[in-house]
Homo-oligomer: A and B are copies of this chain.
Amino acid sequence: MLQEIAEQPAALAQTITEERGKIAQLGKFLQGRGIDLIVLVARGSSDNAALFGRYLIEITTGIPVSLSAPSVHTIYGAKLKLQNALVIGVSQSGEGEDINRVLEHSRAAGAYTVGVTNEAASSMSGLVDETLLMHGGRERSVAATKTYTGQMMLFYMLAASLADQKPAFDYEAIPDLAARSLEQQPAILELVQRYVFMENCVVVGRGLAYANAYELALKLMETCYVVAERFSSADFFHGPLAMVERHFPVIVFAPPGAMLSGVRDLMRRLSELHADTLAITGDLEVAGSCTRAVILPREIDEFLAPIPYIIPGQLFAALLAEAKGLNPDSPRSLSKVTRTL
C-alpha cells in the first residue's frame, strides 16, 4: 500500500499523457451528441471517486449528474429512460458484475456508455462504447490508493473536455502537487502514534473535498478497523454533531477555497465541544484552531486539492495500520474483487 501510494505522481502523469488525446475527442463527440444527464455507477473506493466526479462535472459543465443505485437495475429490473444520458462505470478491475449489468442495461436503453478502469482487457471494456484507462500498473494492495486518484484524474480530464468554457483548474499541475504531499510521510509516521487506540472517529469534507471524507473513512475502516463515519460539514450539523463529546476524534479536510469559511465555522463549534480535531489543510487559521494538523502548501486551491489532500489520508491509514500491528495490504474478511449484484 505504501509503495502504491508513492507511485501516484508518476501514475497520474502517465494517465494524463496517455489518455489526453482520446478524452479530448470523446468530449467533442459527446458535445455534438448532446448529453442531458450523466450517471456514474461504482462501488467502494471507485464510488468515492465517482462522488468527486459528480461535484466536479456539475460545477464545470452544468450537466446534472446522478450516482446510480445499481440495485434498481440488477435486483428490481427497472428500465430507466436514459436515451440522452452518458453512463460511466467506474471499476478498478472492470469485473464488478453489478456495475457491468447497469452498463449493459443503460446501453440497451440508448445511453452512451464509458468504462473507467485499470484493466484494458476487462469485461467492462468489452461492453462499453469507450474505455478510459488509468496508467500506472496493476494495484496489488486490497486497499485502493493509486486507482482512486487515477479515477479522479480521469474525471478532471473528462470534465474539462465537456465544459463549454475554460475550467477553473489546470489538472496538469496535479502530479507535482501529489509529489509534494508525499513529503509529509515522516511527519505522519510520528503523528499516527497518537491515534493507535482510536476506536471510532468522524471524517468531514464538503463539496469537492466531500469524496475524500468518504475515502479516508473507508481506508480507516478497512485497514485500521476504526469505525469511521463520513459526513459533509452541512450534514454533520443535522444530527450527527450530537455524538461529539470531549476528545471525540474528528478529521477535517480544509483546503483553501469557497468551502473554507464553512469549515472554519465547524472548527469553532468543534472547539467549543472540546472535540479532538485533526485538519488536513493549507489554511493557517484552521491549522491553529485544531488539535493536530497536516499542513499542505497554501497555493493548492480546492479545485486542485482533492488528489494532493487524500495522499496524507492514505499515508495516515497505511501507517496507522502498521503502528497497530496490522497488515494494510490484506485486511481481514476482504478480497480485491468483490462480487455483488
Contacts and interface: CB of A to CB of B under 8 A. Distances in A.
A161 to B, nearest CB: 17
Interface stretch (A13-21, A170-178, A219-227, A282-290): A219-227
B81 A235 contact: no
Contacts of A10: none
A237 B340 contact: yes
Contacts of A199: 199-200
A58 to B, nearest CB: 5
A108 interface: no
Interface stretch (A112-120, A125-133, A184-192, A328-336): A328-336
A225 B245 contact: yes
A231 to B, nearest CB: 10
A241 interface: yes
Given A200-B227, A240-B218, A333-B273, A58 B72 contact: yes
A90 interface: no
A43 B200 contact: no
A64 interface: yes
A244 B47 contact: no
Interface string A287-312: 00000000000000000000000000
B55 A241 contact: no
Interface residues of A, number: 70
Contacts of A218: 239-240
Interface in A204-242: 206-207, 210, 218, 221-223, 225-227, 229, 232-235, 237-242
A183 interface: no
Nearest to A232: B71
A75 interface: yes
A184 B36 CA distance: 47
Contact of A234 (B43, B81, B242): B43
Q: How many copies does the complex hold?
A: 2
Nearest to A202: B227
A36 B340 CA distance: 29
Contact of A80 (B58, B70, B262): B58
Contact of A59 (B45, B72, B244, B262): B72
Nearest to A223: B242
A80 B64 contact: yes
Contacts of A332: 242
B71 A234 contact: yes
A334 B241 CA distance: 7
Contacts of A221: 239-240, 242-243
A121 interface: no
Interface string A241-253: 1111100000000
Contact of A333 (B210, B244, B259): B244
